[in-house]
Amino acid sequence: MTIPNILSCFRIVLIPVFVWQYINVPDDQIALWPILILILSGITDILDGFIARRFNMISDLGKMLDPVADKLTQAAVIGCLMFRFPELMILFVVYVIKELAMMIGGLVMLKGKKKRVPYAKWYGKISTFEMYFAMALLLVFPAIGKHPVGIWTIIAVSMFLVIFALAKYLMDYLKTPASEGESK
């Protein structure tokens, strides 16, 4: 297992630590430890990508493991935040539907005639960045989530980017040719 893959696994291990720390923060306080855990997760995410590219450690496992760590982290954070900000339920549902569709599409590509490991594109990265930014905003400034304009702005922007990324990935999937030597 490569160093980047170990870092991705470490990010997955941080998820229950984040959840445990978050559920033990009183509603009216800034979630300092969960924020620090999320920052550590983000740093290891950046490091694993840098190390993989810089030292030619890119692997098919890493191409799958890194986004899985991202998605599990995002789902856990949104799931935790939902208990304090119930309005996030709609974003959580849309997010889960998008990720399930992406997972099914990726499996179909690998098992079918489109035999290549899908990878993250710019629009997926923008959606991921914005989602982390929105979650961090609610962790650092929980009062924003208590104001209707604040929470619904976060939900609207996040949902737009999640749906946009899903639509773009779907268009890419439909344009992906079958593997060489196989009929299209």
Q: Cα–Cα distance between 13 and 28 in angstroms, integer?
A: 27
Q: Is it the case that residue 100 has pLDDT exceeding 60?
A: yes
Q: Cα–Cα distance between 126 and 11 in angstroms, integer?
A: 20
Q: Which of 44-53, 77-86, 90-99, 116-125 has the lowest mean pLDDT?
A: 116-125
Q: Concatenated DSSP letters for 156-175? A: HHHHHHHHHHHHHHHHHHHH
In a domain, 184, yes or no: no
pTM attached to this predicted model: 0.83
CATH code where residue 159 lies:
1.20.120.1760
In a domain, 181, yes or no: no
129-164 pLDDT, tens per residue?
A: 899 899 999 998 999 999 999 999 999 999 999 999
Q: Is it the case that residue 183 has pLDDT exceeding 50?
A: no
The rounded mean pLDDT for the chain is 88
In a domain, 63, yes or no: yes
In a domain, 111, yes or no: yes
pLDDT > 70: percent of the chain: 92
Q: Concatenated DSSP letters for 13-45? A: HHHHHHHHHHHTS-TTS--HHHHHHHHHHHHHH
In a domain, 180, yes or no: no
pLDDT for the residue 18: 97
In a domain, 140, yes or no: yes
* Token code pair at residue 69: 């760590």
Please name the helix (run of DSSP H) or strand (run of DSSP E) that holds residue 125, with its range, or none: helix 122-140
Q: Is it the case that residue 170 has pLDDT exceeding 50?
A: yes
Burial class (CB in 10 A: 0-12, 13-18, 19+), 6: middle
Domain carrying residue 36: 3-175
Q: Is it the case that residue 184 has pLDDT exceeding 50?
A: no
In a domain, 68, yes or no: yes
In a domain, 20, yes or no: yes
Q: Which of 70-84, 127-141, 148-162, 170-184 has the lowest mean pLDDT?
A: 170-184
Mean pLDDT of 86-106: 91
Q: Is it the case that residue 21 has pLDDT exceeding 90?
A: yes
Q: Cα–Cα distance between 29 and 52 in angstroms, integer?
A: 38
**Residue 56 per-residue DSSP state:** T
pLDDT for the residue 114: 60
The total domain count for the chain is 1
